[in-house]
A and B are shown apart, each in its own frame.
Chain A
Amino acid sequence: MLETKEMQPHHVKLPDGSIEKLTTTLNLGPTHPATHGVFQNILELDGERIVSAEQTVGYIHRAFEKLAERRPLYQITPITDRLNYCSSPLNNMGWHMTCEKLLGVKTPKRVDYLRIIIMELARISDHLICNSIVGVDSGAYTGFLYVMQYRELIYEIYEEVCGSRLTTNIGRIGGFERNFSDTAFQKLEKFLREYPKVLKEFENLFTRNRIFMDRLKNTGGISAERALNYGFTGPNLRAAGVDYDVRVHNPYSSYEDFEFTVPVGSTGDNYDRFLVRNAEMWQSLSLIEQAYRKVQEFKGAEAEVYHADAPAYYLPEKKDVYTKMEQLIWHFKIIMGETEIPKGEVYHSVEGANGELGFYLISDGGRTPYRLHFRRPSFIYYQAYSELTKGSMLSDAIITMSSLNLIAGELDA
């Protein structure tokens, strides 16, 4: 197990040929209080110091990619919900946009802005969980209990828009399933009013907290080069000092109309990751405010637009299906797979809460994808975990795990 001479502990001398080891093997996971979700880490410990770590994943492998080959496009959205379930709407929207790219559907501006509202809400709720869990793992339970309550506000908005809290299945190819109700906007306003205070207080609890800083600083760090080589994206990459953000580099859903900054860190350690996520929440808040203002500017008939004019792909609203002939026909055609799906290969990516969430869709003209591959950020950066934790204390390794924001559903697909 021990790779180099220097890494071996010197204080013990074992006789030649002894079956004893100089290190302790600790099996962390797959069910362990400190691992969120199911990961197994086999750690070699010298005292409390980690000499090497080997990760095993796949404990909730659900075969999304195979499943997707059997489902028509609009039925794949529920699968994407379950990728990163802390921010399902982001995945949903990413998938819709991939389909729209393939099908050549152009969404109206209002839809784009509404989507941005929902996506940024999802980003906030994801970062909120991640950061408060970092708090829990470093011994500060309060923050978690406190912000969990405000995540409910976000869930209530989802509920108002799509009827579900966590696995949202929000939106359709081409837009939303229905217009946002007044209540939804009221709830959004309430959120915008109350949330900044909460976030401020959350930061007050943690950011300059001496114990918290000591626990997080200089643990689990990674350099920008290594991070890139490991395929890091998202907040974890930005914490290492690379300002790669899909929203800026390959804008989708009219992100180019907005003003926001991309927070970056420098050392890529746990503390930077925490700060970057916090700063991103502020940016998301401002994005939501901007988008909400833009949405309010639409007047007259434009203010009622909530989907693209693409009857061949947009599943019509249910009440129209019951009352209108044309809508009924389209509904039937889409459900029965009568509409034409172009052949082709598309790759589309969105800035998920953990980084670049990509969809590689190969269509052979059938109603189901020929192949669908998800680029799942956590799967890719979790490889670096053994490098991140090598030489650190066991208790730091736990914080590193939570600050990477590993989501088992996304990791194992």
Chain B
Amino acid sequence: MRPVRFNIHPKQGEPNKSILMTEAPEGYSGQGFFTTKLSDVVGLARKNSIWPLPFATSCCGIEFMATMGAHYDLARFGAERVGFSPRQCDLLMVMGTIAKKMAPVVKQVYLQMAEPRWVLSVGACASSGGIFDTYSVLQGIDQIIPVDVYVPGCPPRPEAILDGFMKIQELVGKESIRRRNSPQYAALLESYGIQ
């Protein structure tokens, strides 16, 4: 459970209880050794050191600022390093309306990212066009790139963004290291016209 604090009646935090250590993956351990699946270890490492690439275009980006700020603090989830270069990042966070004029840019950024890469679509606009069913707005980024997790809301509260992020962590942790080489994955990319 995450500690909740209201500002009017300040409660004392309980640091010893609220710090959560990552659990070790299933495995066989004995004196001085520990065996487990490579996938699990890699997943564990990956999921706790995600480098997000914020692609913030509009209002949802402002909520992302709040998520990054001291109050909500995305850094607690191992996403301290917000990278702005697609080459270094693992997670593309698309926040905000993507107009049709912007669509090729989003795709370009996605293509520039190295595998493995994940996509988090934050907010109604990025997920479906939101309230803007208009001639100029792309009706959801999943028309151009594959999306892993959608966060609903207009804008989603920072808690919701964090929740979406944790869902991504779950996915990342469970992903088999072979997935990106599988024919299914190739077919998925193929359906978006990405080789």
- Interface set of A (CB-CB < 8 Å, partner B): 30-33, 37-38, 58-63, 66-67, 78-79, 81-82, 85-86, 129, 144-146, 148-149, 151-153, 155-156, 165-167, 183, 186-187, 190, 408-409, 412
Contacts and interface: CB of A to CB of B under 8 A. Distances in A.
Contacts of B157: 165
Nearest to A32: B84
Contacts of B79: none
A74 to B, nearest CB: 15
A67 B8 CA distance: 40
B22 interface: no
Interface string B32-47: 0000000000000000
B131 interface: yes
Nearest to B132: A62
A33 B131 contact: no
B58 A58 contact: no
A152 B59 contact: no
A31 B109 contact: yes
Contact of A37 (B58, B132, B136): B58
Interface string B45-66: 0000000000111110111011
A63 B71 contact: no
Given A67-B132, A166-B155, A145 B58 contact: no
A37 B57 CA distance: 5
Contacts of B69: 144-145, 148-149, 152
A149 B70 CA distance: 6
Contacts of B111: none
Given A30-B102, A62-B99, A86 B57 contact: no
Contacts of A144: 69
Contacts of A60: 57-58, 96-99, 102
9 contacts: A59-B99, A59-B101, A61-B136, A63-B136, A67-B132, A129-B65, A167-B155, A408-B57, A412-B99
Nearest to B157: A165
B155 A62 contact: no
Contacts of A408: 57-58
A79 to B, nearest CB: 8
B135 interface: yes
Contacts of B62: 85-86, 129, 166
A30 B105 contact: yes
In the complex, which of the residues B61, B84, B97, B109 has the most CB atoms of chain A within 10 Å of its own CB atom? B97
Contacts of B31: none
A182 to B, nearest CB: 11
Nearest to A133: B65
Interface of B: 7-8, 55-59, 61-63, 65-66, 69-71, 84, 96-99, 101-102, 105, 109, 131-132, 134-137, 154-155, 157
Contact of A38 (B63, B102, B131, B137): B102
A49 B98 CA distance: 32
A126 B153 CA distance: 22
A153 B65 contact: no
Contacts of B71: 148-149, 152
A38 to B, nearest CB: 5
Nearest to A407: B58
A390 to B, nearest CB: 26
A190 B7 contact: yes
Nearest to B108: A31
B101 A58 contact: yes
B55 A31 contact: yes
Nearest to B53: A31
A142 to B, nearest CB: 11
A69 B154 CA distance: 22
Given A60-B57, A149-B69, A190-B7, 6 more contacts: A58-B99, A67-B132, A152-B69, A156-B7, A167-B155, A409-B58
Contacts of A66: 134-135
A154 to B, nearest CB: 11
A148 B99 CA distance: 28
A106 to B, nearest CB: 31
A38 B65 contact: no
B191 to A, nearest CB: 24
Nearest to A147: B69
A389 to B, nearest CB: 21
A81 B58 CA distance: 12
In the complex, which of the residues B56, B71, B109 has the most CB atoms of chain A within 10 Å of its own CB atom? B71
Nearest to B65: A148
A148 B63 CA distance: 11
Contacts of A409: 58-59
Contact of A67 (B58, B70, B134): B134
A121 to B, nearest CB: 15
A381 B42 CA distance: 50
A129 B56 CA distance: 15
